[in-house]
């Protein structure tokens, strides 16, 4: 399955592929890393190598990177790999929940398509609202408003996920109220947790700290405890 998926996602270096096929995981990972191109297919195989080497946070980071720019079934296939590995390392069985399936399906659809659907829904509502109001068809008005809300939420989810700057936690660590160890703890992050990066700061000659969001919590974490996922968005200093 890994070979078929990576073949569909883009070409990979032949020498690295040969090492991958022979099960030389570290050598293959090094070859892929040194390659000139990081296609989604390359990232998928790098994730497989990292998982075989039990470098689970790094595997998650590679698979998150592979998701960027992909849609529909390919996106969903990688999301399943991520969810299964997260469950394996104790981050919860996300793949088993209906909410995860709905959120992943929404994010797998191009944001532009969601926006077009939402616009068509608004235009249809504007065209029909007077007739429904005159006929007191409250159920139709309510159904249309719910549909508009759902489409708007799906569009927002897809856009926000694909424009975020993400990272994966490489070791369980404290989430702090400020960019230094002297600040109080506001929570804990487990190994392999995927977070959204909101900014970064450095105090004097100390390490770079990143302001992150995990679920509904925000705080600061030492940059050495994160693997930054390569994405389009830039972190504002």
Q: What's the order of all strands across the beta sheet hosting 208-214?
A: 185-189, 173-176, 217-222, 208-214, 194-202, 166-169, 226-228
What phi, psi does 219 have (nearest 5°)?
-175, -170
CATH topology of domain 166-228: SH3 type barrels. (2.30.30)
Return the higher-pLDDT residue of 226 and 112. 226
Pairing of strands 185-189, 226-228: unpaired
Q: Could you report the per-residue pLDDT of 19-43, keeping only the tens digit for each?
A: 888 999 999 999 888 887 788 888 8
This prediction has a pTM of 0.72
Spatial distance between the Cα atoms of 2 and 18, rounded to a whole number of angstroms: 14
Q: Which two tokens stand for residue 13?
A: 């270096």
pLDDT at 17 exceeding the cut of 80: yes
The residue extents of the domains of the chain are 2-96, 111-163, 166-228
Contact 161, 75 (CB under 8 A): no
The listed range with the strongest mean pLDDT (24-28, 128-132, 179-183, 226-230) is 24-28
Q: Does domain 2-96 have CATH number 1.10.1500.10?
A: no
**What pLDDT, on a 0 to 100 scale, did the predictor assign at position 38?**
81
Map residue 227 onto helix, strand or coil.
Answer: strand
pLDDT at 196 exceeding the cut of 50: yes
Q: Could you report the per-residue pLDDT of 141-187, keeping only the tens digit for each?
A: 888 888 888 877 777 777 776 666 688 988 888 999 999 888 999 98
């Amino acid at each position: 399955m890994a070979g078929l998926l990576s073949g569909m996602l883009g070409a990979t270096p032949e020498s690295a592929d040969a090492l991958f096929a022979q099960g030389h995981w570290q050598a293959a990972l090094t070859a892929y890393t040194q390659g000139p191109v990081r296609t989604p297919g390359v990232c998928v195989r790098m994730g497989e190598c990292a998982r075989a080497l039990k470098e689970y946070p790094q595997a998650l980071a590679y698979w998150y990177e592979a998701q960027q720019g992909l849609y529909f079934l390919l996106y969903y296939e990688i999301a399943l790999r991520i969810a299964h590995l997260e469950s394996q390392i104790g981050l919860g069985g996300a793949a088993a929940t209906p909410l995860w399936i709905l959120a992943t399906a929404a994010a797998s659809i191009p944001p532009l398509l969601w926006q077009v659907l939402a616009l068509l829904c608004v235009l249809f509502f504007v065209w029909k609202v007077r007739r429904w109001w005159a006929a007191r068809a409250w159920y139709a008005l309510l159904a249309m408003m719910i549909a508009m809300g759902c489409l708007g939420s799906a569009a927002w989810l897809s856009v926000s996920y694909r424009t975020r700057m993400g990272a994966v936690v490489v070791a369980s660590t404290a989430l702090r109220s400020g960019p230094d160890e002297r600040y109080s703890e506001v929570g804990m992050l487990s190994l392999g947790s995927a977070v959204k990066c909101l900014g970064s700061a450095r105090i004097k000659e100390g390490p770079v700290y990143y302001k992150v969001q995990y679920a509904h919590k925000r705080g600061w974490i030492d940059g050495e405890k994160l693997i930054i996922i390569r994405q389009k968005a830039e972190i504002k200093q």
